[in-house]
Structure 1
């Protein structure tokens, strides 16, 4: 383009590089914001001054696939060093002076006019990419088929993964290399390893890996594996991410419908409102058999993981019923060698998971609910991720729901009945009294009541239980009974969900 009167400064051997677009930037690290093939133009406002930094700038731009660098003449660029010139010549990376006062937009228009044919080809590829979702939906094909078709269009391998775990988002798709999946989990949005709108990931063999965000689905990511010498068109990659977003939205609508159906059924089962024959048939339709299923009670300090739990179970092709109520996830799933790991990975490192014995039959479902709640209590008190009922080390000498129930009934039952009949707080006061080293004043302050009220309530407990808190044996029995009740009634809200038999 002689009419532009550009002057070659260095890197003349690279003048044959293809220019697909122009880009103007005065950012200190412009290579992070290009997609490859650009003629980069700058006024030099943030151009480095030292020889090493100037040479590094050339290397970074060349590695990012920039076609060449244009510097505005008589503007703000510092003196170009010999190291800059030498590096440009060695890499065949052309550097040109843009004569003052030629506007950068004149160069941009010339490049746009010269690349019209290439842009028409790009538009045709874009149309084909969006047509894939139409044909995929019409055929009702599996998500894996859509990803394969997108991979053929882009000329690279494509995988969609869960950002929290690095696992494949769609069942039946190839898992990521462990190195990449670990990098996905560890990736921070503040990462500076960015190029062409995508985050860099560790290479696998001779393939470069990049991660692209998926619109409206922050928990999922699109990962590409490609030949680094060819790369992936970043603009087409953004279109592919949009197509994947549409597929994810359709899938999540289906999963939400299934979750709601299952949560309604599980609610009836937990509350004992079920027709055994009807529920058995419904479970069979879902692929669940009571004789091989377990009931799970779980909590996590990451609410978004609790909300996505059913998605994780679906991704591992596990049939399930899932209910989230009062901060606890209740799940009915088949038991198997991977059940513990699937649940713990889905709920994250803060998870506390209790798993019942095999349900066996629906007649035993309420027992399984109590077992799961008991196991969850043990997991929380021992700060372990997973606790299975019957396999955990006994806590304060209690190894089962039956043990705890027997102890509570023998010692605290009169107090529990009194509280229920009179809407009083004797058990709560007893617990606070024991937790505050049997101090009347500290207990009163903790409960925001008068000291005399505490004394009256404790005397009432002693009368109802026929025990004296000044006696060591009585004190031990009452403390154990309160702890057992705490295990049986994990939270006040759980009493209505799974009340132990009286």
Structure 2
């Protein structure tokens, strides 16, 4: 970051005294160099504050005048002349030339070491660089939040405030879309259009117009899609840190412009899929798999969370809660609400599902059951959902999710086949009775079995009176022709129910 030459002269302990070239006090110093070379010009690149004691000054007045002029041609910011060694005072020819050219020339007293000036300017440059980086680090999050909350206009405002400059966004036709501060004057818009047109082929450029203003612009776009240009108009060209802010703002604007286009493309694809379904066509599921891949981890694997609720309103509440919780955890939301439940797809390496607790869903969490599958390849979605349903069927109402991989017996396929066969043999009569009479004896039986035959606990789970539950269990025992006072019978029935709970729920 450059330091204004005028700032150096304001440092009282350096005791510097301006002797000529006051018109150039706004020049900026990039670095400080000391030299006693007779022709130092070939080693200068511009922006230097040159310190010298004049040891190798040309002996004649014309040579000394040319010496100052040549330093100015090299782009030197200013000259510090040390007195008390080679010269007792600054030669008059140097002062006269400095005034004519407008290059600052100041006197350095014998008591002030050149090293002190070098150190002071270097420290100031470092300080300004740190301030600029700090300013950028604060401005970038503000721009991102501005995009989320208020869109492109807020980004333009934040960039203009951070750069203390005028910022415009123009579309490909040259129309101003956004600007800050205020509405730009027609003359400024004309100069901006001319600058963009001058360097449009490169996609970005810096242009100094006839008024001396610096116009920096970058094309806004992604791939071959062009949305316009982001333009900054200021008194001086942008520094490196300012360029970073400009690039960040450009990226955010490109995302903002791309969002509607991306939504339109997605909507068009969904429209086509829906039309194909209505026409009975064989719809290609590839786009759906591509979309669902956003939910997988880096290895392309997923896990499923199934939440089983006691009512449709409870399922709606769970869905609403997940709509907030899942994005807040950094995941894309892929949730499907069934009549009394929700199916959620998550990356296989996510711990989100395991961290859920019934209280995560407020008052709706008291009676819900949650199950989580193990990790599966994306295309094994159906198997993952089935595993999660089975895990949810074994969960206690109002408890944390049950992990399918911990169900030693039920996760073993041969054991599940035996239990499923037993369930269909033992429980089909009860399911048929419920279907014909509109009763819910199966749910009462499960609550009774899960509570190990404790009437009070089971009735509380179902929110019915214990005498009502006793009547239902008596009816179920009569239909099943089983002795439910037997612990072995109760254990077999519970395992059968757990192995096929999802099946019974979906066929009722």
Q: TM-score, normalised by structure 2?
A: 0.40
- Answer with 1 or 2: which has the greater Rg: 2
Point out which structure has higher relative CO (alpha carbons under 8 A, 6+ apart).
1
